[in-house]
Structure 1
Amino acid sequence: MRKRVVDELNQFLEGNYMAIHAYENYINHCQDAELKHTLHQFQQEHKQHAQMTADRIQSLGGIPIDHLGLKGTIIEWIKNLTEKTNRDTHIVKDALAGEARGIEVSQKILKNDLDTESKQLVEKILNHDQQHVNVLKKLLQQMDRV
């Protein structure tokens, strides 16, 4: 059971690493200072979540991953999207889609055999991710009005 929990938490951790790197790209391509600040805050939260998840994996006697894995190639795809005109709007749309996909994939982890403490940790992190989704939706609505 512990190995399965560690494997599932490592999958979750990989998703957080993907988010960290995606936000790095968004921040580097963003033009609006306020948006850049918001994206930086989200990135910092994903870094905290990654550390919390890695700590949990270690407390279970596992070894946390420290890389993106094969899924990291998605980052290259994201880089191409941010080259478009109306860059900030595309960044918000991409970030929103990424957060939503991350939540969806992570919720599947919750359906598996996580122990109570690990499940609570993942749920807490997903609540923060849902807050990111809500903020990004509001930003997109504001951008559409302009």
Structure 2
Amino acid sequence: MTDSAQQLAKFLEGQYMGIHAYDHFIQNMDDAYLKQELQHIQQDLKSQASRVAARIQELGGNPPDNLGIGGQIQEWVSELKGFPASPEGILRMALKGEDKYGIHRAHEEIHGKLDEQSAALIDDVFKRSKAHVDKLQLLLEHLSAAERL
């Protein structure tokens, strides 16, 4: 497997972690509108993961189809800590995950390690993740404003 395919495979495992986190956010969200918004973001994450998996195959690699051992351990630890119960807490956790892990940490780990076409794909994925961050921030601001009324 090429270096780019290996880096994309690691990245894809991280994407799967995000998708699984949204499962928990959606399950624990009581607000129907916010649940729907989280579902839209999760669907976009799944679409982006599919694009990355296809690129791995184009490079001759075999894309992972799950979190990997590290992701499973991290998910288990998160479950032990518990997920927030309030809509605000869920949105804050989703926002932190998208921003810190989905964009910044992933960018640090993959930056400069990809071929040109793979880098362009990942740049697009990061742009989509930034749009998720913006959407989550907006939802959180509206929720906070509504609570003040």
* TM-score over 0.5 for the pair: yes
Q: Indicate the RMSD between aligned Cα atoms, in angstroms.
A: 1.6
Higher relative contact order (CA 8 A, sep 6+): 2
Contact 1:18-1:75 at 8 Å conserved across structures: yes
> CA deviation digits over 1:6-64, x for unaligned, max 9?
11101110111011100011111100011000100111111111110000000000111
State how far apart, in whole Å, the 1-side matches of 2:83 and 2:87 are. Answer: 8
Contact 2:11-2:110 at 8 Å conserved across structures: no
Partner of 2:132: 132
Aligned length: 143
Partner of 1:100: 99
How far is 1:78 from its partner?
Answer: 4.1
Map residues 23-102 of structure 1 onto 2, 5 A cutoff: 23-69=22-68, 70-79=70-79, 80-84=81-85, 87-101=86-100, 102=102
TM normalised by structure 1 equals 0.90
Partner of 1:9: 8
Q: Which runs of 5+ in 1 are unaligned?
A: none
Q: Which runs of 5+ in 2 are unaligned?
A: none
State how far apart, in whole Å, the 2-side matches of 1:62 and 1:75 are. Answer: 25
Identity rate, percent? 34
Contact 1:96-1:133 at 8 Å conserved across structures: yes
State how far apart, in whole Å, the 2-side matches of 1:22 and 1:31 are. Answer: 16
